[in-house]
């Protein structure tokens, strides 16, 4: 993924890393793929039941009330820009979020990750997760199942990252 910077007014990777450090979140999202499904290749064939394993995808998100700033970042680095809803806080200024998932998030991390300061532990854990995921692929191709022990390890990566992202006072040093 090319995040080229051709104009003098473009957002630098260092600036975006600082923005992510202050206003962002690095996470692993678990997507459940539903219940087992019956599938028949041909009408004359017997139906087979396929069990789908959950997906674990990387997600980077930044939020802010400055829409123009987020649009400038989106112009240079892509991502999906959406308005955030806060029905219990009607007097608050409208906030927006810019989100990158999956391969786009991995591409963005390759550019801004080395410049992260506050989110360096999360970045290191995501790199470890990406290496693990690369070595432990699905059985039978991209739609195949995952070994239950692999799902458990991926869920553990997600849990550890949530713990690193948790706000408030923690008991002891963060676990990586």
User: How does pLDDT run across 131-168, given as a tens digit for each residue?
Assistant: 998 888 776 666 677 888 888 999 999 999 999 998 76
C-beta of residue 57 within 8 angstroms of C-beta of residue 101: yes
Q: What number does CATH give the domain 13-165?
A: 3.10.28.10
Specify the pLDDT at position 137. Answer: 74
Specify the pLDDT at position 142. Answer: 63
* 101 sits in which H/E element: strand 96-101
Q: Is the pLDDT of residue 71 over 90?
A: yes
């Amino acid at each position: 993924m090319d995040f080229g910077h051709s104009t003098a007014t473009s957002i630098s990777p260092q600036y975006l890393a600082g923005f992510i450090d202050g206003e962002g979140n690095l996470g692993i999202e678990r997507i459940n793929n539903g219940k087992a499904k019956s599938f028949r290749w041909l009408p004359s064939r017997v139906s087979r039941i396929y069990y789908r394993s959950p997906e674990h995808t990387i997600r980077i998100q930044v939020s802010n009330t400055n829409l123009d700033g987020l649009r400038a970042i989106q112009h240079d680095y892509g991502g999906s820009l959406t308005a955030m809803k806060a029905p219990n806080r009607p007097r608050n200024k409208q906030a927006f979020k810019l989100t990158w998932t999956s391969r786009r998030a991995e591409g963005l991390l390759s550019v801004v990750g080395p410049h992260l300061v506050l989110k360096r532990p999360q970045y290191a854990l995501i790199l470890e997760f990406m290496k693990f995921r690369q070595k432990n692929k699905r059985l039978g191709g991209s739609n195949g199942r995952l070994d239950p022990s692999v799902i458990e390890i991926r869920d553990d990566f997600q849990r550890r990252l949530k713990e690193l992202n948790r706000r408030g006072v923690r008991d002891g040093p963060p676990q990586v």
